[in-house]
Chains A and B, each alone.
Chain A
């Protein structure tokens, strides 16, 4: 998600890496940032204000005189992005000891019904007893859809025959039924509407007045263009929204709507929908989102994901092996599978700072990291246990057998072994480091490896540690210049 805006912002911000920064060059650079935002569907006025604020802060903050203007500028943009989208309040303010009524509204096709199901599932996981009410009598089969969704999640759904009922009646009866059946949260799925439709808007207001939902949530399609702000505003004027749920963020939308809605209406984004399956609803975190937009990675979410998917024992076991430097192909395979459980490799890479660009490169070169993982898995499976524990013992004969066993060329087995050897060396080196250094080491890998994901470990040449290539270059340049000066002086 957000790749588009990320790419554009990254290239727009590349001006900070070029040459000297002056007030003029910043203003010019900010124009390309503005274009990036506009192409990402950020509302025109929001983009304009954003740029003005950033420019002002950058120029006013003595950023230019600071030691690392690049980082400062990105820092300012990051902070402004966070301010733009936040703060958020994830709580749905449940009423203690009574029923909480949530009303969902939104334009047609924003994904209301699906989101109702996702929300019900989320609430259920929190130990609540949600109930769905199908108040969308407009769209053919909407009731049927909610019924099916309810069945999948395993929550009751209140429905009525659209022929002899009104949306208001359905809602009232639904709440009453929920009280009787002991549910504690009622989610009203209202009909989608185009907000210019006064009649349907009145119907919503009527439900709002008579049923008095505790929270009204707007479901908003993240792909919406400049109009997102208008619709959010109209709904907010009529209903006083409590929160926004952005949907379809798993596409390649640039998500400008996310940046605009909060700014214009002041209504916080509470959740984001990131997939068609019913468990793909996440809490919205502006700081993480800002980092993702800027390609700074999202380590917090990655850790949370890892925690959810990988048990503590597995983690400790892996740590132990790593720190002892006893890293075998068996562990390698185990870890690979652990990673796989967390989602697609690309998604994970995007969350690691500095690796976002690499995942794009992977996509561009047409290589599918999933396939690669599968193949590596297959190769390891074709080895005997002895070979897995002692990869060094794999000779030509064994290699050929493994290759035949899994249907690859022997050279590929070799490549895997080589890669594994490099990785094991790295692990050994990393085992002595703290968490921060380790993170840095991972980023170094990203810098040093080619897009196909092969590691290029720098050989340890001397006791002074690896030489910094850039520093060396600068040093040599300086020496050359000094010599030149000396020659001139001697003339």
Chain B
């Protein structure tokens, strides 16, 4: 089962949700009136895409098709095009599903540093393991830095993963300043000449100023060892997160300038619609999606496929 199939499976529920509209709501020959649009708005809102994005789509549908007889195909192509433009933004990210590292800003000389952050329990450590696996598969060497020195057993969890993957890891005892782990990670990475250094951080809620300051320190310290690093700051987002995802993206970007999102746990029943809201308001693109608990279940995000899977009638 390729990415498309998996994503389709994962999004089947959303698809069902949206598709029932087509059958129930948008019947060819009927007039597209306000109650129908209201119902359509409800379906959109249930995907967590947020009030603003849903409004935008509904407005567009209303303008183009409101008051006329329903042409299902035409409505869908409007919705698809709108969603696609919301997700793609200004085409600043390369999505090539054949090349799993294409969305990353990889450096040709010296190691690329990827800083991974997010709130508690979104699946940072697991996503890092999956990402490391993906990068290794593309023929590059990876070094992990276990920067989560706060949560009980987080270092052990990452160590277990590194053993399974057979990649280098830098650890320090629990309670160590995570910035020091990050620095040592970069240090060792440069010495050993690895291609990619991935730095884990402890989960933190974006409202805890002290913890956010700590994260900012990690960010600065990395640049001290390797100028211009980190080259990628990925924010891991739980697909079940609602509108709070916006606040997360905003606050994390303030301290680490997020370059992309990893949408984890998309295999649940949630749709990760908040990614649309984030792309719309902050311009941060989704780069990877987590589709399961296995190590291979991380894929490059593909907006075209995402939209197709979301509302493809054949799905």
Q: Which residue numbers of A lie inside 8 Å of B, CB to CB?
A: 4, 35, 38-41, 44, 107-111, 138-142, 144-145, 147-149, 152, 194-196, 221, 223-228, 230-231, 234, 248, 250-254, 256-257, 276
Determine whether the beta carbon of B51 is less than 8 Å from that of A223: no
**What would 18 A/B residue contacts be, using CB atoms closer than 8 Å?**
A4-B244, A35-B51, A38-B45, A44-B46, A144-B153, A144-B157, A145-B151, A147-B152, A223-B238, A224-B241, A225-B274, A227-B48, A227-B240, A248-B205, A251-B119, A252-B206, A252-B207, A252-B247
Stretch of B109-117, B193-201, B252-260, B262-270 with 4 or more beta carbons under 8 angstroms from chain A: B262-270
Residues of B94-129 contacting chain A, CB below 8 A? 119-123
Determine whether the beta carbon of A276 is less than 8 Å from that of B48: no
Determine whether the beta carbon of B152 is less than 8 Å from that of A144: yes
B226 at the A interface (CB under 8 A): no
How many chain-B residues does the 8 Å CB contact rule pick out? Answer: 43
Give B276-303 as 1s and 0s: 1 = Cβ < 8 Å from A's Cβ atoms.
Answer: 0000000000000000010000000000
Contact (A194, B206) CB under 8 Å given A39-B50, A248-B119: no
Determine whether the beta carbon of B269 is less than 8 Å from that of A221: no
Q: Which residues of B lie under 8 Å from residue A276 when comparing CB positions?
A: 120, 150
Q: How far is the CA of A44 from the CA of B45 in the complex (A)?
A: 7
Residues of B132-166 contacting chain A, CB below 8 A? 150-154, 156-157, 160-161
Q: A44-B42, A196-B267, A252-B244 are in contact. List 7 more A-B contacts (CB 8 A).
A: A142-B153, A145-B151, A194-B269, A221-B240, A227-B240, A231-B269, A251-B207
Q: Which residues of B lie under 8 Å from residue A257 when comparing CB positions?
A: 242
Which of A149, A227, A234 has the most chain B CB within a 10 Å cutoff? Answer: A227
Determine whether the beta carbon of A225 is less than 8 Å from that of B243: yes
Q: Which residue numbers of B lie inside 8 Å of A, CB to CB?
A: 13, 42, 45-48, 50-51, 119-123, 150-154, 156-157, 160-161, 205-208, 238, 240-245, 247, 265, 267-271, 273-274, 293
From B51, B157, B207, B238, A39 is in contact (CB under 8 Å) with: B51
Determine whether the beta carbon of A109 is less than 8 Å from that of B121: yes
Q: How far is the CA of A253 from the CA of B270 in the complex (A)?
A: 18
Q: How far is the CA of A257 from the CA of B243 in the complex (A)?
A: 11
CB distance from B35 to the nearest CB of A (A): 13
Q: How far is the CA of A228 from the CA of B243 in the complex (A)?
A: 12
Q: How far is the CA of A142 from the CA of B154 in the complex (A)?
A: 9
CB distance from B211 to the nearest CB of A (A): 9
CB distance from A153 to the nearest CB of B (A): 11
Determine whether the beta carbon of A226 is less than 8 Å from that of B46: yes
CB distance from B28 to the nearest CB of A (A): 27
Determine whether the beta carbon of A141 is less than 8 Å from that of B247: no
Determine whether the beta carbon of B243 is less than 8 Å from that of A251: no
Contact (A224, B265) CB under 8 Å given A111-B121, A144-B153, A145-B152: no
Determine whether the beta carbon of B247 is less than 8 Å from that of A226: no
Determine whether the beta carbon of B51 is less than 8 Å from that of A110: no
Q: How far is the CA of A84 from the CA of B161 in the complex (A)?
A: 44
Determine whether the beta carbon of A248 is less than 8 Å from that of B120: yes
CB distance from B54 to the nearest CB of A (A): 9
Determine whether the beta carbon of B269 is less than 8 Å from that of A230: yes
From A196, A231, A253, B244 is in contact (CB under 8 Å) with: A253
CB distance from B7 to the nearest CB of A (A): 14
CB distance from B60 to the nearest CB of A (A): 19
The 5 closest A-B pairs by CB, nearest first: A225-B242, A109-B121, A41-B242, A148-B152, A141-B157
CB distance from B268 to the nearest CB of A (A): 4
From A145, A196, A226, B45 is in contact (CB under 8 Å) with: A226
Chain B residue nearest in CB terms to A145:
B153
Q: Which residues of B lie under 8 Å from residue A149 when comparing CB positions?
A: 152
Determine whether the beta carbon of B244 is less than 8 Å from that of A41: yes
CB distance from B271 to the nearest CB of A (A): 8
Determine whether the beta carbon of B120 is less than 8 Å from that of A107: no
Determine whether the beta carbon of B207 is less than 8 Å from that of A38: no
Q: How far is the CA of A111 from the CA of B152 in the complex (A)?
A: 12
Determine whether the beta carbon of A225 is less than 8 Å from that of B123: no
CB distance from B161 to the nearest CB of A (A): 7
Q: How far is the CA of A224 from the CA of B156 in the complex (A)?
A: 28
CB distance from A374 to the nearest CB of B (A): 15
Determine whether the beta carbon of B46 is less than 8 Å from that of A195: no
CB distance from B91 to the nearest CB of A (A): 28
Q: How far is the CA of A220 from the CA of B247 in the complex (A)?
A: 19
Q: Which residues of B lie under 8 Å from residue A140 when comparing CB positions?
A: 156-157, 160-161
Determine whether the beta carbon of B268 is less than 8 Å from that of A223: no
Determine whether the beta carbon of A231 is less than 8 Å from that of B240: yes
Q: Which residues of B lie under 8 Å from residue A109 when comparing CB positions?
A: 120-123, 238, 265
Determine whether the beta carbon of A107 is less than 8 Å from that of B241: no
CB distance from B252 to the nearest CB of A (A): 12
Q: Which residues of A lie under 8 Å from residue B238 when comparing CB positions?
A: 109, 221, 223
Q: How far is the CA of A79 from the CA of B48 in the complex (A)?
A: 27
Q: Which residues of A lie under 8 Å from residue B269 when comparing CB positions?
A: 194-196, 227, 230-231, 234
Q: Which residues of B lie under 8 Å from residue A4 when comparing CB positions?
A: 244, 247
Determine whether the beta carbon of A226 is less than 8 Å from that of B48: yes
Contact (A225, B241) CB under 8 Å given A35-B51, A140-B157, A140-B160: yes
Q: How far is the CA of A159 from the CA of B273 in the complex (A)?
A: 39
CB distance from B296 to the nearest CB of A (A): 16
Determine whether the beta carbon of A194 is less than 8 Å from that of B153: no
Q: How far is the CA of A248 from the CA of B207 in the complex (A)?
A: 11
Contact (A225, B119) CB under 8 Å given A39-B243, A145-B153, A251-B206: no
Q: Which residues of A lie under 8 Å from residue B150 when comparing CB positions?
A: 276
Determine whether the beta carbon of A107 is less than 8 Å from that of B157: no
Q: Which residues of B lie under 8 Å from residue A251 when comparing CB positions?
A: 119, 205-207, 244, 247
From B122, B205, B267, B271, A194 is in contact (CB under 8 Å) with: B267
CB distance from B36 to the nearest CB of A (A): 16
Chain B residue nearest in CB terms to A224:
B240
Chain A residue nearest in CB terms to B43:
A44
Determine whether the beta carbon of A256 is less than 8 Å from that of B205: no
CB distance from B39 to the nearest CB of A (A): 11
Q: How far is the CA of A224 from the CA of B272 in the complex (A)?
A: 10
Chain B residue nearest in CB terms to A41:
B242
